[in-house]
Structure 1
């Protein structure tokens, strides 16, 4: 049995709007995609506090804030130009290359970052 590629509707670098959860309505950028778990890590969204113990004798403990993953179904692609969240569709351009476009605005989404 070969490895099966898991499809996701968002990629690293996409601008998204959070559509559910405690951060609903916030807009940010995806910094990491975890396809096996169908989760994404979004910049400054779903901030968790982690208490780190001191590793050495003279070190002090600290409290750090990290972005925790959220499920990809809780984010939606967002157009900054038109300020609207939308689903997307695929079209093929003249070179027969797949291009993602937003359904509501027709705006093309750059495919330079492959996740």
Structure 2
């Protein structure tokens, strides 16, 4: 997976049971081409009590989904968009929104 989406990016799910939902990327799993998105693909985990988690029971948590099922939401135009890349005058490579041609990550 190229660096088209990063941690803390806002993304929209484009297919599957959670189609249309938006959330923040909590973590990426590049080896499996998957991402974990906040509030998307919730699964139930049966937890037993431990030092770290004293309250046992059924807990909901996010499971990974394929990165191809999400699109970046442009911070400027607010649309789900494809991501291009461009170089600044300083030679730094940046991500660019394909719809409004604005720079996505200013660092």
Alpha-carbon distance between aligned partners in 2 of 1:86 and 1:77, rounded to the nearest angstrom: 6
In structure 2, the partner of 1:73 is: 68
Q: State the number of aligned residues.
A: 105
Q: Which runs of 5+ in 2 are unaligned?
A: none
In structure 2, the partner of 1:97 is: 92
Q: Is the 8 A contact 2:75 2:104 kept in 1?
A: no
1:27-73 C-alpha deviation (Å, 9 max, x unpaired): 111010000000000011111111113459xx763111110000000
Shift of 1:13: 1.2
In structure 1, the partner of 2:101 is: 106
In structure 2, the partner of 1:21 is: 16
1:43 and 2:33 aligned: no
1:1-50 C-alpha deviation (Å, 9 max, x unpaired): xxxxx534211111111000111011111010000000000011111111
Shift of 1:80: 4.1
Alpha-carbon distance between aligned partners in 2 of 1:35 and 1:25, rounded to the nearest angstrom: 23
Alpha-carbon distance between aligned partners in 2 of 1:26 and 1:81, rounded to the nearest angstrom: 19
Closer, same or farther: CA 94–48 of 1 in aligned 2, 3 Å: same
Shift of 1:110: 1.3
Q: Which runs of 5+ in 1 are unaligned?
A: 1-5
